[in-house]
Structure 1
């Protein structure tokens, strides 16, 4: 039999559900802004899985993945506990912005302080009240601005537990990603938590393909952790990317994408064409290496030096 768990001032009994509101700050109108925390605590013992979306307020795919899991009841485990936070950065979500109103990136503000910037206070509240409860965390993101990320898991290959979870998730790509200073992933890893980061799609968009990949991977992780008995999604096998490089535009102009995101390209393949709006020039952009394109810039206009392709090998 499982034991009750306490989140903030709420005690959740085995077999029960709770929706708990975490208040970090208020709007300038004095209206409270609450972060809903949805908890499903089963009667049987098991691990605690945290599904986290909206660390960046404009990354809607992650929010929708967690929302769909809650709506469909997939967050109700047969063993263990699932905590869902569809939107952590409520302020950013309200304003369709990546950052908080102070202009800071929440994912570069961990572990935070109780009296620091707004981003720092959000990070501190998460680390104090939520992170200690979780054994495993799946943090869901998208590309920033016009960058579209093909479905991928990012984890530190030197961490065998994280790499095992990444392979179980079974996204098309797994990218070796060292811990970034002051990121959520670094902060919870230092606390002994096992975390993987799912990337898919781009900001301010809902992509059905990304939703399907995210939900599929989460179900596979839940089954691997023995939290659910059934999972029909068979292993496909991920491509591991140990190294990667951003390819940058050699000049400014109109950008015509000539390669599918997620595809393998060989050195010398034309992957894009850059031209001026007046018909004076048109230059082909060729891949300098063999590798997999796992992120593309979908902006029709680029400036010299803009990152336009992320290639892994």
Structure 2
């Protein structure tokens, strides 16, 4: 969509050169109090693409919300050309309750495209796709790891899509994972509607991490500079670092229950047999060593103080894309 055309979201029109915050109200709390989801729109007077920055599909992944908040605070969301839409929190119910899911127990990121008359989560999915996504050309959706699992900063894209690969190269997170679209996900729904999405993962739920936030902000500025949308007052840092592309990866699971003492550092390259962690009892009698089953990069590390047998504790790359 070009900036010169009026943009109408939820029956509110934003003209070229205007800034407006639109409140999306779909359902109330069980106390009958209203919950408003702010949609922050910044439009240039000059034609250009429309980009959506969003977070909080999972209400407890607050680092994504902090990233989008920083984009607003630093005025990175004021475009040189085109339009930038920011939604810092989509699942406002989960954010209030510090939970991943909606009050109906559903994962919003598994119910797209949703239904106008379905469950609460399904209705939110429906209105996001109906009211916002038809105006959007590009999206970056910011996430964090769940259940105390800390994600290294990474972009996830579908395999064999050269345009997304180019955008991922430009964003230049330390890692890029090839992962297929999951049925019912926001990413899958956007793909079907022709919207180009980068999914950013970094940090863990119910946690704020400055290093993760900064990685995402710098990557976003490079992304906007590529589209010629970056506010000219903002400096962009281009790095010679190349993303490490991971084609396949696997989870290492705990063989024992106990107190978890991590040794390996997130993002590190480990060799087969390297010590990753120990799992001990609380009484000083038992200590089990956790060793790397093969070489690879640690792209997710469990930060929990204790684990149960079968818990996912490390996500390790198994196959890297060869440099062309």
**TM-score bracket for this pair, using the shorter chain length:** over 0.9
Moved over 6 A (4+): none
Task: Name the CA distance, whole Å, in 2 between partners of 1:300 and 1:283.
Answer: 15
Aligned partner of 1:250 in structure 2 is 255
**Secondary structure, aligned partner of 2:284:** coil
TM-aligned CA deviation for residue 231 of structure 1:
4.1
Cross-structure match for 2:282: 277
Partner of 1:234: 238
Alpha-carbon offset, residue 251 of structure 1: 0.9
- Uncovered stretches (5+) of structure 2, i.e. residues with no partner: 319-324
* TM-aligned CA deviation for residue 4 of structure 1: 2.0
Q: 2:264 maps to which residue?
A: 259
- Relative to the length of structure 2, the TM-score reads 0.94
| 1:25-36 aligned within 5 A | 25-36=27-38
Report the counterpart of residue 85 of structure 1 in structure 2: 87
- Per mean C-alpha deviation after superposition, the further-off stretch among 160-169 and 209-218 is 160-169
Is 1:12–2:14 an aligned residue pair? Answer: yes
| 3-state secondary structure, aligned to 1:32 | coil
Q: Is the 8 A contact 2:218 2:236 kept in 1?
A: no
Q: Where does 1:85-234 land on structure 2 (aligned, <5 Å)? A: 85-228=87-230, 229=232, 231-234=235-238
Q: Which residue of 1 aligns with 2:273?
A: 268
Partners of 2:276 and 2:238 in 1: CA distance = 32
| TM-aligned CA deviation for residue 280 of structure 1 | 2.5
Deviation at 1:165, TM superposition (A): 1.2
- Decide whether the 8 Å contact of 1:223 with 1:231 is kept in 2: no
Q: Does 1:296 align with 2:298?
A: no
Offset of residue 188 of structure 1: 0.8
Please report the TM-score for the alignment, with normalisation by the length of structure 1: 0.98
* Cα RMSD (Å): 1.1
Deviation readout 1:160-189 (Å, 9 max, x if unpaired)? 121111111101100111100100000110
SS in 1 for 2:40: strand
> What is the deviation of 1:21?
0.9
The answer to whether the 8 A contact 1:51-1:85 is kept is yes
